[in-house]
Amino acid sequence: MRKQGLSHALLVQLKRDPDGLLLDGEPAYTCARLRPGAVLQINLREGLSSGTVTPVCQPLAIVYEDEDLFVINKPAGMPVHPSHGNREMTLANALAARYLERGEPFCFRPIGRLDKNTSGLVLLAKNGLSGCLLSGMAGRRQIRREYLAVCKGRLPDNGTVDAPIGRVPGSALLREVRPDGRSAVTHFERMDDAAGLSLARVWLETGRTHQIRVHMAHIGHPLPGDFLYCPDFTKISRQALHAARLCFPHPLTGEALQFEAPLPRDMAALLEKG
């Protein structure tokens, strides 16, 4: 079961449930040996609950949903998680309200995250098993994300930024390229340019905090509207970054899934000619 991706926590939960593991219809221990033709049944009950998340009705752009996962197109300005400064107007609150309407227990399981002011596709697990499997897939880099970014200046046709990123001393938020930082690799391809700006398709080999924003600023092409690294709000009020594409195999069926979210209006407007 560990080789199939089940975590230690899930195995503990199964062992505590009298019907958690059934071997040919009979309760079984995890030390049982399987015989050819035997049927092992796993009954994973949804027992966890994110009870501290207040349900708040808000619009949700659900791109895909099945019994194991959600893909949601998050708008800019909506945080993924509740925080000290925002306990109610987040993706978690909106999803909690949806579950409340259905009369179902709610446990918030995002796989990765987006900054508050980054728009685009967010992947969430709907149960403990899919959450465990998707987290493992993310760690093995089997979940591919592509971003669209509007950058200042005219980018090269394509390129790679390989530069370590670390915290700016004395700041809890700011990151910078620094020799003692953690390895970070960003690839980009210029898709369009207009009005002194470039539209880039961006994908990552690593997942450092603010990686795209820091790397683009480092090479002289920051994202307008970025309050940390390019506070130019003359044309857009948030960083011009959008999680546009998400590709991964379904954690249980193995089916290849691919989702896309179109460029938001505020970013598209930056590239309008004339």
**Residues with a known catalytic role:** 115
CB atoms within 10 A of CB 52: 10
Distance CA 242, CA 102 (A): 30
Angle between helical axes of 8-16 and 128-139 (0-180°, round to 10) = 160
| Alpha-carbon distance values, 109 to 27, 50, 73 (Å) | 29, 9, 16
Cα separation values, 131 from 10, 101, 110, Å: 10, 22, 8
Beta strands in 10-54 (DSSP E): 21-23, 26-27, 40-42
CA distance 160 to 155: 11
Q: Which helix (H) or strand (E) holds 110?
A: strand 110-111
* Cα–Cα distance measured from residue 122 to residue 105, given in angstroms and rounded to the nearest whole number: 21
- The H helix count followed by the E strand count for the chain is 5, 15
The rounded distance, in Å, linking the Cα atoms of 62 and 182 is: 34
CB distance 162 to 150 below 8 Å: no
Query: Measuring CA to CA, how many Å separate 9 from each of 28, 146, 250?
Result: 18, 31, 21
